[in-house]
Amino acid sequence: KAGVTQTPRYLIKTRGQQVTLSCSPISGHRSVSWYQQTPGQGLQFLFEYFSETQRNKGNFPGRFSGRQFSNSRSEMNVSTLELGDSALYLCASSSSGQGAGTDTQYFGPGTRLTVL
Amino acid sequence: DAKTTQPNSMESNEEEPVHLPCNHSTISGTDYIHWYRQLPSQGPEYVIHGLTSNVNNRMASLAIAEDRKSSTLILHRATLRDAAVYYCILRGLSSGSARQLTFGSGTQLTVLP
C-alpha cells in the first residue's frame, strides 16, 4: 500500500505571496492532519479533516486554512506569507479517526517551505 | 493537558539495548502512551503504544510503570538507523489530544558505531 504523499517537496516563495500544499493520504484513510515543524517551536498541530469536515484546529492564525476532498486528499493554504512561515509542513493520515487515542498516524515526508 | 518529560539527548553504542525514559506524572486513566520517532529529513514514524500492560512489536518494547506515571521505550539492539528524535506522547480524551499528536521536544538518540 502506498504511503502518504505530499507535493511539492520543496517550495520557495516571497513574503506576501500565498501557497497551496497538497497531501494524498493512504488509500482508505479518511482522517488527514497537518503539522508545522520549525526549529524554534518544534512540531505543532495545524488542523485535522475527516470526511471533508474540519474537526479540530490548532492555534494558528486564519491565514492558515485547509480543505479535504471527497477522495480524502487534502490541501492546505497559507495566504500573505511571512518569513516565520518558513517550515516543514507535514501531513498525516489515519484510518479510523475515532478519536479514542489509539489510532496510528502515518506521516508523509513533508513539504519544505522557504519564505524569502 | 497531561505533559511528558524526556531527556534532551541520549547516546548508545551500536548493537546494545537502549532504554528511553518518559515521565508523565499527570497521566489520566484513559490516556494512551504513544511513541513516535523522527529520522533525519523524514516525517515522524509510529513506534508503539500502550495503556497499562507492557507491549512488544517488531520495532521495540514499551514498559509501563505500575502507577503509569512513567514509561520506557526499549530498543533491544540499537542500529545506526535508529538514530532519531524519539517522542513520548499521551493521547486520550482527558488530555484533549485524542485526535492530534501533541509533540514535546523529544529525546535525540545518537547511536555510536
Place of cell 491565514: A63
pLDDT for res B44? 97
B45:A107 CB<8 A? yes
More confident residue, B28 or B10: B10
Nearest CA in chain A to B38: A107
Residue B29 CB burial class (10 angstroms; 0-12, 13-18, ≥19): exposed
Q: Work out the pLDDT band at B92, boundaries 50, 70, 90.
A: confident
Residue from B108, B87, B85 nearest B9 by CA:
B108
Write a three-state SS string for A73-104.
CEEEEECCCCHHHCEEEEEEEECCCCCCCCCC
Q: Which pLDDT tens digit goes with each residue over A98-108? A: 556 778 899 99
From the list B31, B45, B104, the residue facing A101 with the nearest CB is B31
Nearest CA in chain B to A43: B103
The one-character DSSP state at B66 is T
The one-character DSSP state at B42 is S
Q: CA–CA separation, A63 vs A21, rounded Å?
A: 14
Q: Work out the pLDDT band at B3, boundaries 50, 70, 90.
A: confident
- The mean predicted confidence, pLDDT, of chain B is 91
Chain centroid to CA A116: 21
A100:B93 CB<8 A? yes
Q: Which pLDDT tens digit goes with each residue over B11-54? A: 999 999 999 999 999 898 888 999 999 999 899 999 999 999 99
- CB-based contacts of A111, cutoff 8 Å, min separation 6: A6, A7, A8, A9, A10, A11, A21, A88, A89
**Please, how many CA atoms are within 13 Å of residue A8, restricted to the half-sphere of its CB?**
9
Residue A94 has pLDDT above 60, yes or no: yes
Q: In angstroms, what separates the C-alpha of B14 from chain A's closest C-alpha?
A: 26
B52–chain A Cβ distance below 8 A for any pair: no
Q: In angstroms, what separates the C-alpha of B102 from chain A's closest C-alpha?
A: 7
A48:B99 CB<8 A? yes
In order of A65, B17, B85, B108, the CA distances from B23 in angstroms are 34, 20, 16, 16
Q: CA–CA separation, B62 vs A55, rounded Å?
A: 30
Number of helical H runs and strand E runs in chain A? 0, 11
Q: Which pLDDT tens digit goes with each residue over A8-58? A: 999 999 999 999 999 999 999 999 999 999 998 999 999 999 989 998 899
